[in-house]
Amino acid sequence: MNLRKFIMFFSLVAIIVGILLIIGTKRRWKFLVDPSDKLSSIYSHSRIKKVFGKDFLEEYNYVVGILFILVGIWFLFIALFG
């Protein structure tokens, strides 16, 4: 029973993170779409922007957000019906 609750919690967190990532990119939150290059050694979004460019980073955020939502829904389905 505890494992099921943990999986449900993980699922909901993943869905929320995915939604926030998509909303943040759509609303152009600076730390998601235009992070400082000075943080590239410790912040993955800054490193991705530095290597691949700002346009790629926005597309990356959408793809990762969608994947978080899909994984969250998949694990929620497993927790509820598996």
Q: What is the DSSP string of 11-54?
A: HHHHHHHHHHHHHHHHTT-HHHHS--GGGTTT-HHHHHHHHH-H
Instruction: Give pLDDT, residue 51.
Output: 95
In angstroms, the CA 18 to CA 67 distance is 7
In angstroms, the CA 11 to CA 39 distance is 29
**Domain extents in the chain:** 2-81
Q: Is 7 helix (H, G, I), strand (E, B) or coil?
A: helix
Per-block mean pLDDT, blocks of 10 residues, the chain (82 long)? 90 97 97 92 94 96 98 95 84
Which one, of 28, 33, 30, lies nearest residue 60 by Cα? 33
Instruction: Give pLDDT, residue 19.
Output: 98
